[in-house]
Chain A
Amino acid sequence: MKNRSYNIKAMLIATLLSVLMVVLVFYGSRELQNFDAALVTYLFGTVFAFFGIVYRYTVWLQRPPTWIYFKRGVGFLFTGKIFSHFCFAVKESVENIAFQKFIYPRGKYRWLAHFMIAVGCTSAFLITIPLTFGWVHFTMAPNSISVYEAHFFGFKVMDFDLDSIMAFLTFHALNWSSYMVIFGAGYYLRRRLTNPGLIATQTFESDLLPLILLIAISVTGLGLTYSYEFMKGLAFDFLAVLHAVTVILFLIWIPFGKFFHIIQRPAQIAAHIYHKVGKQQGMAVCEHTGEEFTTNLHIKDLKKLTKKLGFDFDREDGTSHLDLSPEGKRSRLAQAHLRARQDGGNLFG
């Protein structure tokens, strides 16, 4: 029952936000004046992906453990020293979201490859989504044959000369993104095909397919460029269809597969804030080892959370098994085992 009501809630939110987005597309493109009809399939894909993401995100947030971090995270952000909390959040976002620094210790090439994929994807999204939505479009400046103007939401934001570096960079931005994604995803694909630990635990649809899709999108995208620049449009239509198919597959896949982690990642910052604030409120000391092991807040929340999820680790005296550090828990188990063995009369056998 509970689950279904959650789903309805999520459905409502997702539908509302998707409608809102369509409305924004309508007005952002100046009532479809600036809308590029050739991109309509992409628009449908994007709207669907958006719907899916919001839906899944909402479902996810409603899970009790997730909700705690969301609630606490947002709550702490807006209480007490708001400015310093915001600074912390910004710093964390730059380090962890923009630069993904936590990957670096796992391997510097892993980090580099991931960073390339992240930058490539982000820039590609930033370019293609506004174009698809008709929010951005380019026109030739009036009375000129070499100056381009860029418009956002129908407002002119900049212009540049057709031969300028700016023009080169802008019109090839998607190519640069593609190269980065190909290198990054190629590295990961190779790793996944050769590392025995990964081979043992990965699945095709959630680990290999996303990488293949990324590479396919980038390669077909690049193919389009090469086709019209160097090969007089050879197979352009075919490539265009192929590109569209891969991109739409990718978009639809976001809410269900590996790419959802992009949307989830900010929760990491909530966890950091949670830990930071918890620390200020005091650390929990393990009754077995006598050492601090996490924050009091964390233990308090976990006790409630586990109960809510149907687990009861309370002891008769009102304390809880969760008051022990992991080492303490292991030791208590060993002591219980020793007692049981001794009561059984033989430690061996």
Chain B
Amino acid sequence: MKYSGFNPNEEFFVDMQRCIGCKACEMACAECETNGQEPMIHVNYVDRASTVQTTVQVCMHCEDPVCANVCPADAISKDEFGIVHTANTERCIGCSNCVMACPFGVPKKEENYDLMMKCTMCYDRTSVGKKPMCATVCPSGALFYGTKDEIQEMRPNSTPVNTFIFGKETVNTKVNIMMPKGSSELVIF
């Protein structure tokens, strides 16, 4: 792979409370070369009947990806930069194990391709030093791609967190979520 331009100092920061649900990221994601015209980012209403809250979800790129572990076809791999890559097209058998096991609800089964596809952090762009499409166009800062220093300066009262607690399970990720200052983890339940 062409690692030459990947900037290991730049990271992904997500803050879904800033999300306005516009789906610019979804449209832009489909312009990314790694996934054709299919968007890999997810924007959905949390509960439209009661609120306009939306959430935006990119792949969190877990340290120990559940998706890769449950894959029966060895189709998902993680590279040296911690990017968890989308299913290898020739191996993926479309079983959806990863889709149902991912604790963040990220992988997507493209039914007519019989193939799982997921966010690769815009590998075609990040591997040459550009920012991912979604984080570039996001008008609300719900998605930001840059250095820790930059985010610190922009949002002095928030702390990036990459530890997620699901009951007894702790999931560590490459992607950060912005939390109140001083937080060290996000407890989902």
Contact = CB atoms under 8 A, between A and B. Distances in A.
Q: Chain A, interface size: which category?
A: 35 or more
A348 B17 CA distance: 8
Contact of A196 (B90, B91, B124, B180): B124
A66 B72 contact: yes
Interface string A321-349: 11011111111111111101101111111
Nearest to A206: B88
B44 A329 contact: no
A348 to B, nearest CB: 7
Given A321-B188, A336-B186, A102 B44 contact: no
B7 interface: no
Nearest to A96: B114
B95 interface: yes
Contacts of A347: 17
Given A65-B97, A329-B104, A330-B57, A201 B17 contact: no
B167 A341 contact: no
Given A200-B33, A344-B180, A349-B157, A331 B55 contact: yes
A294 B96 contact: yes
A201 B84 CA distance: 11
Contacts of B164: 333
A276 interface: no
Contacts, number: 206
A331 B55 CA distance: 7
Contacts of B16: 333-334, 337-338
A258 B90 contact: yes
A347 B114 CA distance: 40
Given A196-B124, A329-B104, 18 more contacts: A69-B93, A199-B2, A264-B73, A305-B97, A306-B66, A306-B101, A316-B167, A326-B105, A326-B108, A327-B42, A328-B105, A330-B55, A330-B105, A334-B54, A336-B186, A336-B188, A338-B17, A343-B180
27 contacts: A65-B70, A69-B93, A69-B95, A96-B114, A102-B112, A102-B113, A102-B114, A105-B112, A195-B33, A197-B124, A201-B85, A268-B95, A294-B96, A305-B97, A309-B69, A309-B70, A321-B188, A322-B101, A324-B105, A327-B105, A330-B104, A331-B55, A334-B16, A337-B16, A338-B16, A340-B180, A348-B18
